[in-house]
Amino acid sequence: GYYATSSDIHEQKTVEEELRRTNTILSAHFDNTPLAVMEWDTALRIVRWSGQAESIFGWSASETLRRPLSGWRLLYEDDEASVSEMIKGLMEGRERHATLLHRNYRKDGSVIWVEWHNSALRDGSGKVISILTLAQDVSSRMQAEERLQFMATHDGLTSLPNSVLLNDRLEATLSRALRARSRVAVMFLDLDHFKDVNDTLGHRVGDLLLKEVSRRIRAALRQIDVLARISGDEFVVVLEDLPDEDAPDHVARKILDEVRRPFQIEGHEIHVSGSLGLALYPEDGTDSETLLKNADAAMYQAKELGRNGFRAFSMELGQRRAHRRTIETALRRALKSDELRLHFQPIMDIKDGRVTRAEALLRWYDPGHGLVLPAGFIPLAEESGLGHAVGHWVLDAASRQARAWRDAGLGDIVVCVNLSASQLRDTAMLADLKKTLQRNGCEPSWLQFEITETSMVRDVEGASLVLAKLRALGMRIAIDDFGTGFSSLSHLRTLPVDVLKVDKAFVADIDARPGSKNTRDPERGDRAGGAAIVSAVIGLARGLGLDVVAEGVEKQEQLDFLKAQGCAAAQGYLICQPLPADEFEAWLRSRARRKPPRKKRLTS
Ligand code: C2E
Ligand code: MG
Ligand code: MG
């Protein structure tokens, strides 16, 4: 017979089935995933090495199984420490998972970036029995990131560090210098007239020139020196570990010499020069921002001093810059908050003593500084782009005043307005002027304009076009400070002008006769020429059919001389100081009462 026992193994079979299924799923996943799957036993020998692991690292499963982690070229030397630290953490049960990005060698010796996701596998009692690793080759991502990082910190044209990286490097340099108590030199270099190269030879040649300039400067520096291109034609050099006191000067000269040597670019021989400013740590600043700002200020001064040279930063230079900035801000406010005023100085016809013109002279009552004269802020306004706004204010105020005086029955007073260089260049000035005149009910002939020769030098043709248009509107034009600018007689012949104003410097020297003790002034040379110049200008004006006004007449002898020479009009403290509008009006009225015009007195 037979004997049978049976037991219910359904549970067991289901579990087995389940296990098999899980295993199949896992294996399918392991084989299909783009990740390399690896497993290490507790002795850190490889017990699993998937097909994807082979394609990422190059070794086959048969070459790697049973191999320990160390002892072959899989780990990149610099990253070994961090990998063993991570494995220790997993093995000792401190961590369950750990992700690490590091470099690995491939079988062919090349280096790849790999992201490792590791998990500790445990048995029922919780003991770690192996480590499962899923790994991914992220080299192309890392390269893209490196590339992006490079692009964000370097200049695309020259591959030099840009201002972002310069700041980092400079900060690092300064903290080293602080510890080592050493000095650092920061240099700011700007090419002179680089725009001309771009304009005449094109941007391509301009770009090639910049590349060549940066190559030459780089070659003139030590490896540890930083050279950065921070914008167009501006470079910054940072020198640390200065070998001696003279090193910065020496390097500055070397850089400028390199820039000055002619460049051969696409068949063109190009000559450029540079202006360089130097600031030293710690004396000229202890943080990167101040040092860069001061090197920049010194560079500007090198430009002002005629370019093609270098300047070291000095405290006065810094103070001047700071002063400029304060004035600029204050002037912006002044325009808004009614701090500007016009003063008026009479211009007297010498023959009969009549006053038919007044020069409008700008004054600024700064609540912080008191009265500021135009020399203290007009050049600055011009530099900072406030010239238009100031000019507009003056035109508006002057035309309103001209109207007001006509309305008040003060006579046919012509208001003489000084025009600046930027107003002459401003294409919108004419339209603005017409609108202003209309708004204020002022006839063009009630104004006269004064322009200095120097304000026209940049573009005589352009200026003379504007002057012709002003004249066509019905205004008279005077050349101010005549004799101190370029005084080209050929220009004078063609410029549309009506009046010459002889500069006060010549008038002041009228009485310095040749042979007198006081004829040589170390600053002004031979002053005795004053009288000769004044009479020459008067003669010249007469020959050209122009009116002449002598400025700065302070003494009766000067007025007598001018009268004898046939000068038409005079202006100066002898007659009257510049006065606020109401005082000018009062002055003119009392004068009319006290002193009838000479002509009438002569005939009566
Ligand atoms: P400017 O047009 O040659 O003005 C004459 C300057 O000589 C004025 O100086 C006037 O106050 C001064 N002056 C008058 N009489 C005498 C005198 O007898 N002796 C001496 N030593 N000086 C005398 P101010 O007012 O300081 O103006 C200086 C310059 O500023 C002006 O020279 C003019 O070029 C400019 N300026 C004044 N107002 C304006 C303005 O509204 N716009 C522009 N663009 N420039 C202006
Ligand atoms: Mg003037
Ligand atoms: Mg003048």
* 186 CB neighbour count, 10 Å cutoff: 31
Distance CA 241, CA 224 (A): 9
How much is the pTM?
0.59
Residue whose C-alpha is closest to residue 138's, from 118, 112, 104, 117:
112
Give the distance (Å) from ligand 1 centre to CA of residue 504: 10
Residue 408 contacts by C-beta under 8 Å, 6 or more apart in sequence? 585
Instruction: Compute and round to an integer the Cα radius of gyration of the chain.
Output: 42
At residue 555 the predicted structure's pLDDT band, cuts being 50, 70 and 90, is very high
pLDDT per residue as tens digits for the range 413-458: 999 999 998 888 888 899 999 999 999 999 999 999 999 988 876 6
Q: Does ligand 1 have an atom closer than 6 angstroms to the CB of 361?
A: yes
- Which DSSP helix (H) or strand (E) runs through 44? none
Contact between 475 and 448 (Cβ < 8 Å) = yes
From CA 82, how far away is CA 89, in angstroms rounded? 11
**Residue ID of nearest Cα to ligand 1 atom 30:** 374
Strand partners of residue 41: 130
Mean pLDDT score, 294-317? 85
Q: Which residue has the tokens 């770690």?
A: 128
Whole-angstrom CA distances from 439 to 75, 346, 411, 483 are: 83, 26, 21, 36
Distance 552 CA to ligand 1 centre (A): 9
Q: For 1-40, write each residue's pLDDT tens digit.
A: 999 999 999 999 999 999 999 988 888 888 788 899 999 9
CA 120 to each of CA 35, 98, 99: distance values in angstroms, whole numbers, following the listed order: 17, 9, 12
d(CA 279, CA 157): 27
Q: Which residue has the higher pLDDT, 516 or 148?
A: 148
How far lies 214's CA from each of 152, 209, 295, 363, in Å? 19, 9, 19, 48
The CA-atom distances, in angstroms, between 289 and each of 146, 162, 174 are: 27, 15, 11
Q: Is the CB of 394 under 6 A from ligand 1?
A: yes
Helix (H) or strand (E) holding 33: none
Q: Is 388 in the pocket of ligand 1 (CB under 6 A)?
A: no
Which atom of ligand 1 lies closest to the CA of 420? 44
Higher pLDDT, 20 or 517: 20
How far, in Å, is the centroid of ligand 1 from the Cα of 361? 6
Q: Using a pLDDT cut of 90, give the percent of the chain over it.
A: 62
Q: Look at residues 142, 163, 141, 143 and name the one whose alpha carbon lies nearest to residue 152.
A: 163
Confidence at residue 593, expressed as pLDDT on a 0 to 100 scale = 82
